[in-house]
Structure formats: C-alpha cells, structure tokens
Structure 1
Amino acid sequence: MKYLSTRGSIAPIGFKDAVMMGLATDGGLILPESIPHLDRATVAAWSKLPYRELAFNIISLFATDIPKQDLKELIDRSYASFNHADTTPLVKKNGVYILELFHGPTLAFKDVALQLLGNLFEYLLKERGQKMNILGATSGDTGSAAIAGVRGKENINIFILHPHLKTSPIQARQMTTVLDANVHNIAVKGTFDDCQDIVKTLFNDLPFKEKYALGAVNSINWARVLAQVVYYFYAWGRLPEQEEVIFSVPTGNFGDIFAGYLAKRMGLPVKKLLLATNENNILSRFVASGDYSLGQVVQTVSPSMDIQLASNLERYLYYLFNENPARVREAFAELRQTGRIVFSAEEQKQVQSEFLTCSVGEAETLKTIADFYRETGYTLDPHTAVGVHGALKCVTDGSSAVCLATAHPAKFGEAVEKAVGAPTPLPPQLAALAGLETRCEVMDADKDLVKAFLEAKAN
C-alpha cells in the first residue's frame, strides 16, 4: 500500500513513512492511493471478531510494510491499557446505541488512536535509530491522550498546545500534571484554531521540520484516522440486525467522522453519517447548504468541538473533488484569501447524499443530558449529548442509530452537574489529579514564541 498527498506533490510513500511524515511536505494530508473494499461476507465475519483481531485485520490492509507479527504485537500492547474487555463496548439506551469510546487511559476516544500511534512512533524510531519531537494542538482530549501515549518513551519529546483556560479543568490537569522530562505543555492565549494554525505553520516550515524531526499526533496523521476506522466495524458487528446503520458523530475537526466515511468506502453498510456540531457549526453549514465560511469561535460546554477550521475536511474534499489535487489546492487557496470555500450544486448534492447534520445549542445539549439521565440513569458527556440529540431528532425512518460516546462524563463534571443537578463520581484516575503539581508554559498565540520554546527544549 502506497500513500499520496491531497495536494498531489509528493512521490508515493509507504505506511511507515506516512506515519513519520505526519503532514505531507506539500502542505496536504496523506491518504492511501486506493481504499481496499471488503465484500459483505468478509465485513460480517471480521466485524464479529474480538477488538484486537479486528484491528489487526483492518490495519494490516494499510500497513503492508510492517511485518505482521510486529504489527500484531503493537496492536495488542496498545489496547492492553483499556479497562474494558470489549475495548469499545456498545450499549443500548432509550432507543439508540451508544458506542463507548472512553475506556482508555485518559477516558476519551482519542486513546483508541493515540495509544497505537505512540507505540508506532517508538517502534519506527528504534528501527531507524532516530529521535522525534512531536508537535500537536488540542481542544482538550488529544493532548492528554497523546501525552499518555508517549510519556517516558525513548527518543521522543512531545510539545502540546492547548487554548489557555478554554478546555475543561480536568482536561487541563490531565495534561499539565504529567511531569515526565519529555513532556512539554504550552497554554496559548487564544483559541484551538490559533493552536492548530501555529502547528500547521511550523510543519510547513520544511527546514525547521527536518532539523527538529517534527512528528504529528493530531488527526493530520494518517495512522490516527486509520485506527478509528476499526470501531465502526466493531459497533456494526454487535448490532442485533446486520443492516444499514446511521452513525451519529459529534465532531469539530472532521477526523472521527472521516474514519466513518472510510469504513463506508471499505464496504461497511452505513446508510448515512450524521454530523453533529455545537454552536460552532461550520461543518453543519457545509453539509446543510454548502456554506463553508469561517466565523468566530464560541466557547461552549462541549469545548472539544469549539473549532471553526476543520483540518480533516481536506481529506473528504479530495474524494468530493474526484481525487483532483489541483481542485483541492484551489479550494484552500480560496479559503486563505476569502475565508470561505464555494461548492457547486452537484458537489452539495453529493455531500447531502452521504451526510445528515444537526447543530445543537447549549440549552439543548444540557436538556439532552438531563432528559437522558432521567429516563435511563445513563450519563452523557456534553459532546456525546450533541450526537445523541442529533440521532433522536434526525433519525426518523426506523434505522438503527449508533451514537459515538467520545468522553467519560466526569471529564466535563461542571456541565453534567448543571444538567442533572448532582456531581458525577470521579473515576480513580481523575480523582487522583487533585492536588498534583502542574507544569505548563503560558504564551501568546505567536508562532515565533512557540518555535523558540521548541528549539530550546527539543531533542
């Protein structure tokens, strides 16, 4: 399996090089040259497998340059850290299915990909005799999951940018209480989009990227998206009826839902992907009316979706534009110049054939948490509540709806308590954060400041 860039200006590379490159050197995002397609019988058989076996079967289709035994060991080690035997269990509540993706070390769905990515980095760096400085941005959960994936690992430093005082308090403490020498947290006075823009700018500074061996943990890294494809197959295999299904995905950066799109392209019987957003609804506007125009970020109770510039949309647009990298380059030049991308009527029709969408306000989010708790005794975190609200509102044709539960509710205790009137009990790993020493650099949203800090601390 070879990989290319959405912008068309890199020679085909293998999986290992794709992982290490992160952001393509032409500024695009990395994708496989072709997407494997599974027949229905194979989908049905694979989807019934235990999680680690299913992950091996799917990932091995794409990671063809890693010996199979090595890949199996990497996958087994990555999911040994999860605290549920099913890794990503599926439960039914109030007429919808909840896919629980929060049983990893940091209690968020990002663990599914980042435990694997951390182990892949360690494996590849050892194989190549190299060192790496990971640079990433987070709106909340990516940072702690990435840190958990690489803390203490040899030959790796990690630098994580998060928006100062705009994550949940627990999300911030999960990052800043990790005092390993190879971990560096930077709180940026701005938004997640500011953090993401700084990271992309530094990755696009190719001499700097090469000199400091920058590695990517954000969902710009292909391995992260690939790891997330697995749980769509796993969820479908645990439904009582093997039929077309609607997946409701709370998303701000388009990475998680793009993994669902890939699963569908591979042959998973997905009827529609329901894209659920909060008030930062650029992606909902894109699906509903083709309006992809940048606005101001609004701070909400679901902070991991407080995003305007969805970096992973570029991967989907590559396919929407019939795999034409010139059209991708034009679209993002247009976005830089005008703050929007304009789509044709035919392109809008294609988007709406694949996606439903729902934008959920703060009051609706809190009401969904409260109502769901009252009716079922099950507590939703605010992001999951956005997806559940979308499913209850938009799935009206009797289809099975699987809602992706992206984080443990205790990570957003203030919002949950506001909704249900009682605090959410803290799991032991979150309760242990209280009173721990923290370490973090607070700085302005200035790429030169971040660059200088990295230069001073890098391997």
Structure 2
Amino acid sequence: MQYKSTRGKANNYTFEQAVLAGLSPDGGLFIPQSIPQAPADFLTKWASLSFQELALEVLSLYIDQTEIPRQDLKELVDRSYSTFRHKDITPLHHVKDGLYILELFHGPTFAFKDVALQFVGNLFEYFLKRKNAGIENKADRHKITVVGATSGDTGSAAIYGLRNKQDLDVFILFPTGRVSPIQEAQMTTVLDANVHNVSVKGTFDDCQDIVKGLFANKDFMAKYNLGAVNSINWARILAQTVYYFHSYFSLLRSLNITPGSEKKIHITYSVPTGNFGDILAGYYAHQMGLPTDKLLVATNANDILYRFFCSGVCEKSVGEDGGVHETLSPAMDIVVSSNFERLLFYLARDAAVDAQVPEAEKDVKAGEIVNNWMVDLKQKGRFDTGAQVLAEAKKIFDAGHVSDQETCDTIRSYSHPRNPSQAPYVMDPHTAVGVKAAETVIPKIDSQNIVISLSTAHPAKFSDAVEKALKDQEGVVFEEFFKTVLPKEFDGLMTAERRVTLIPRADEALVIEVIDKELSK
C-alpha cells in the first residue's frame, strides 16, 4: 500500500513517509493509493474479534508487513489500548429503542482523540527507535518536532500520547479562552520537558492556519523535521475506522443477529463534526464494505458543512473572528474543516472529472479541481462544487445543525428522562449535538432503523455546559451529576502547576520565535 496527495502531484509515499510528513509537499493531504476492501468473509471472520484484534486486521490492510511486521503492529496496537479504562475500548451503550451511544471517551484524556493519538504516539516512537538504532551521539540522532493545533481534545490527547518520548518535542497551539477549563488544564499541567503549550489570542482556525503555514515553510520544516498530529495525519483517520467496525459487530451481538444473515437493519452513524476527521473514518469504513446506510454530519452554529450538504456550496459565514461562533460545543467551533479535502478528492474524482478522461489521469485532474476549490475558499470565501458532486455526496452523507438551546435541552432530557423505563444518561454537549441532529433529520428511529451516535468526550470535560443544562428553573444543579459523573482523575487538576506560553495575536512569526527558543535549550 502506497499513499498519494489529494492535490494530485505527490505519489508513491510509504506509510511511514506519509505519517511522519503529515502534510504532502504539494499542500494536499495523504490518502491511500486505493481504498482496500475488507475480506469477502469479514462479516463472519471478524464478528467475534476484540477491539485490539479487529484493529490489527483493519490496520494490516493499509500497512505493508515490509514496513511494520505483523507482530510489531500487534505489539503497537496492544500497547496503545492498554491505557484505556474499559475492556471494550469503545463500548456501545443502548439508550433507548433504536438509539445507541458509541462511547469513545475511555482513554487517558476522556476524549475520542485518544483512540487515534495513543496509536500515533507509539508509531512515532517506533519509527524513531528504528531510525536511531545504534546511534549513541545525541547530535546525530533523528528527531521530530510535532506541531499541532487544537480546539480542545486533540491537544491533551496528543500530549498524553507523546509525553516523555525520546527524540521528540511536541508544540500544541490552542485559542486563548476558547477551550474548556478542563481541556486547558489537561494540556498545561503536563510538565514533561518535551511538551510545550502555546496559547494563541484568536480562534482555532487561526491556530490551524499557523500550523499549515509552518508545514509550508520548507526551510523551517527541514530545520526541525516537523511532524503532524492533527487529523491531517493519515494515521489518525486510519485508527478511527476501527471503532466503526467494532460498533457494528457489538450492535449485532446485542440484537442477537448472526453476522451475514438475511435479517436486515438500517444503520445511521450520527457524528458531531468539526474538522471532519471522525466522520471521514466512517466514510472509509463504508467504502471498505461496512454495511452503513447513512453518515450524518452533525454541526453546531458553525454549520458550513451542513450548508454544503444542502447546497453543494462551501461558503464561510461573515462575522467576527471570520465567522467562527463561540458555542457550548467548542471542539466543533471550526469554519474550515481540514479533512473535508480528503472527501472532496473522492467526490471530484467520481463526479467532477470528465468521464472521457483516461483512468491514469483522473487522480491528477481530481487534484487540480480540489486545489482550485481550496484556493477559491481561501481567496473568495466560497466554492461551488455543482449538482453532480452534491448528488454523489448525498448518496451516503446527510447533515443537520443544532443550536445551543437544543444542545442544553437534549442533555437535560436524557439525563432526566420522562419515560420511567429509560435510564438516565448524562452526555457532553458534542454528543448532544449528534443525538439531536439524528432526532431532527432521521424520520424514524426504532429497532429496524438504528442510530449509533458517537460520543466524543466525557461530560466532565465540559462540566460548565452540562451544569448549565442541568439547572432547573430555580437554578439548582442536579447533584447526581457530581456524584456519578465526575471522574476521580480530575481531582486537583484545576489547581495543579501549569506551564504555557501566551501569544498576543495569531502570528506565525511569533510562534516560530517560541519554537526556536524552546528547542535552543
């Protein structure tokens, strides 16, 4: 398996090269040369596998044994998920008839990013150890400087995955005051010497633009050998495909359905969506053969993706901070979703490239189309893909958007259900967006039309929003939240020692100064 760029000008990269580079030299994102199909008998062959065993099978389709021997890959997988608190890693929770919550928050930082970044951290370490085998002189050793932007969860998950790794430094940029207090504390209280937090006065999109600028700066990238942990890194998308397969088999077991039997159910995955990486993993799983009816893009007030799937036009909204609205679900407060480019490549190739173009030239032509769309979005604030591309997208995708008020109402209704037969379930605001979008968009949710809504974070990570939702008319907070939901790992976190560098404005040059200063030590 080799990798290519969404811009059509870079090809024949190995998995290791794609992972370590993060961003393609032509400015695009790495994708597999072709999407592999799951084995013809995977519905029966994989049905009873554990998460770790399933991960080994899925990852092996994308990683040649010549690059990572199967036994080495197994050890990487086992080590990555040994840090999770639940034996099923990503358990499926039945909430009510037809609605299931896929809990992705049982890793070290209580967020779905752990599923990918525990694996990515071990991958970086594996590649570095292999490159540096037998090299004792510190000056001669191969080193990586990881730079990432976060709207909250990526930062802490990356830090916990990379802390104290030899020959590796990690710099995480986050928007000042725009991540939850718990998220900021999780990042800035990690005092390992190789961890550097940078608080930038601006938005997540500003931080993301700075990171992209650093990767486009060839001299700077070469000087520090930059590596990426944002979801532009292909390994993150790949790791996340596993829990779609795992949840499917978990669902069949809970319903006593024999995999591969003629008993049919319709499954929609509802995914709270910011940078488009989580739902893109679902798209790859679907393309590999996972029986999925729809992938529902659930957005908050930052609804550029919702508007695209309604019209085929990708257009930034006009307003303060470049159109970014501050909401109760801050990890989704994003305008330009980096991973959306990966989907656009496939849509362009299937629906925008002229059918008369020879097969060998379609990738290049699709890359040119995607590049033009990206240039238009940056320069004009919009691009229009046309009716054919929209029709192709809607074959698998649907979309919905949810207000802050609806988010609060959803948290409250599930934590204190009116139906006495339904057990209370406290969800974080992002999970609530996914659940409410499903309730709004999907005509019927029952035992035959099932929704699996992805829960991307533990509710305690967004306790202010949950507390707001759980207040009754007298302003009293439900005590059950504090008794049953807050993890013991958060005790003392808010008062622990912190280390962070403040940047007064979104300026790439200022970030370069910080990196130069820290690495010169």
The TM-score with structure 1 as length reference comes to 0.98
8 Å Cα contact 1:43/1:267 also seen in 2: no
User: In the alignment, does 2:511 pair up with 1:450?
Assistant: yes
Alpha-carbon distance in structure 1 between the residues aligned to 2:23 and 2:127: 17
Alignment match, 1:61: 61
User: In the alignment, does 2:173 pair up with 1:161?
Assistant: yes
Alignment match, 1:428: 488
**Deviation (angstroms), 1:226:** 0.1
- For residues 310-459 of structure 1, the aligned pairs below 5 Å read 310-322=337-349, 323=363, 324-375=366-417, 376-397=423-444, 398=446, 399-421=449-471, 422=478, 423-424=481-482, 425-443=485-503, 444-458=505-519
Alpha-carbon distance in structure 2 between the residues aligned to 1:80 and 1:165: 33
Alpha-carbon distance in structure 1 between the residues aligned to 2:48 and 2:381: 45
8 Å Cα contact 1:133/1:458 also seen in 2: no
8 Å Cα contact 2:306/2:400 also seen in 1: yes
Alignment match, 2:75: 73
Alpha-carbon distance in structure 2 between the residues aligned to 1:432 and 1:147: 19
Deviations 1:26-85 (A, max 9, x none): 110000001111256313431431000000000011111211111110000000000000
- For residues 24-423 of structure 1, the aligned pairs below 5 Å read 24-39=24-39, 41-64=41-64, 65-95=67-97, 96-129=99-132, 130-239=142-251, 240=255, 241=257, 243-295=265-317, 296-322=323-349, 323=363, 324-375=366-417, 376-397=423-444, 398=446, 399-421=449-471, 422=478, 423=481
8 Å Cα contact 1:278/1:359 also seen in 2: yes
**Deviation (angstroms), 1:348:** 1.1
RMSD of aligned residue pairs (Cα, Å): 1.2
**Deviation (angstroms), 1:291:** 2.7
Deviations 1:145-171 (A, max 9, x none): 000001111111000000001100000
Does the residue aligned with 1:70 lie in a helix, a strand or coil?
A: helix
Query: Structure 1 residues 181, 236: CA separation in 2 closer, same or farther (over 3 Å shift)?
Result: same
Alpha-carbon distance in structure 1 between the residues aligned to 2:44 and 2:325: 42
**Deviation (angstroms), 1:393:** 2.0
Alpha-carbon distance in structure 1 between the residues aligned to 2:161 and 2:47: 26
Alpha-carbon distance in structure 2 between the residues aligned to 1:208 and 1:193: 21
Alpha-carbon distance in structure 2 between the residues aligned to 1:357 and 1:19: 30
Does the residue aligned with 1:298 lie in a helix, a strand or coil?
A: coil
Q: Which amino acid aligns with 2:454?
A: L
Deviations 1:320-363 (A, max 9, x none): 00141111111111112211111111111111221111100000
Alpha-carbon distance in structure 2 between the residues aligned to 1:46 and 1:142: 30
Does the residue aligned with 1:62 lie in a helix, a strand or coil?
A: coil
Alpha-carbon distance in structure 2 between the residues aligned to 1:45 and 1:366: 42
Alpha-carbon distance in structure 2 between the residues aligned to 1:367 and 1:104: 27
Q: Which amino acid aligns with 1:107?
A: F
Alpha-carbon distance in structure 2 between the residues aligned to 1:247 and 1:149: 27
8 Å Cα contact 1:16/1:66 also seen in 2: no
Alpha-carbon distance in structure 2 between the residues aligned to 1:121 and 1:261: 25
Alpha-carbon distance in structure 1 between the residues aligned to 2:378 and 2:486: 43
Does the residue aligned with 2:146 lie in a helix, a strand or coil?
A: strand
Deviations 1:278-316 (A, max 9, x none): 000001111111231112101011000000000000000
Q: Which amino acid aligns with 2:310?
A: A
**Deviation (angstroms), 1:206:** 1.5
Alpha-carbon distance in structure 2 between the residues aligned to 1:357 and 1:10: 32
- Runs (4 or more) in structure 1 with deviation over 4 Å come to none
Does the residue aligned with 1:36 lie in a helix, a strand or coil?
A: coil
Q: Which amino acid aligns with 1:119?
A: N
Alpha-carbon distance in structure 1 between the residues aligned to 2:153 and 2:519: 23
8 Å Cα contact 2:102/2:454 also seen in 1: yes
Does the residue aligned with 2:502 lie in a helix, a strand or coil?
A: strand
Alpha-carbon distance in structure 2 between the residues aligned to 1:39 and 1:120: 25
Q: Which amino acid aligns with 2:77?
A: I
8 Å Cα contact 1:254/1:311 also seen in 2: yes
**Deviation (angstroms), 1:430:** 1.5
User: In the alignment, does 2:66 pair up with 1:16?
Assistant: no
Which range moves more in the overlay, 35-44 or 269-278?
Answer: 35-44
8 Å Cα contact 1:192/1:306 also seen in 2: yes
Identity of aligned residues (%): 51
Alpha-carbon distance in structure 2 between the residues aligned to 1:456 and 1:225: 32
Does the residue aligned with 1:458 lie in a helix, a strand or coil?
A: helix
Which range moves more in the overlay, 223-232 or 336-345?
Answer: 336-345
Q: Where in structure 1 are there 5+ consecutive unaligned residues?
A: none
Does the residue aligned with 1:434 lie in a helix, a strand or coil?
A: helix
**Deviation (angstroms), 1:128:** 1.1
Deviations 1:248-281 (A, max 9, x none): 0001111000000000000000100000000000
Alpha-carbon distance in structure 1 between the residues aligned to 2:306 and 2:152: 21
8 Å Cα contact 1:159/1:185 also seen in 2: yes
Q: Where in structure 2 are there 5+ consecutive unaligned residues?
A: 133-141, 260-264, 318-322, 350-362, 418-422, 472-477
Alpha-carbon distance in structure 1 between the residues aligned to 2:47 and 2:512: 44
8 Å Cα contact 1:48/1:234 also seen in 2: no
Which range moves more in the overlay, 385-394 or 414-423?
Answer: 414-423
Which range moves more in the overlay, 44-53 or 98-107?
Answer: 44-53
The TM-score with structure 2 as length reference comes to 0.86
Deviations 1:212-234 (A, max 9, x none): 01000000000000000000000
**Deviation (angstroms), 1:447:** 0.3
Q: Which amino acid aligns with 1:110?
A: K
Does the residue aligned with 1:380 lie in a helix, a strand or coil?
A: coil
Alpha-carbon distance in structure 1 between the residues aligned to 2:268 and 2:384: 27
Report how many aligned residue pairs link the two structures: 459
8 Å Cα contact 2:298/2:399 also seen in 1: yes
8 Å Cα contact 1:97/1:403 also seen in 2: yes
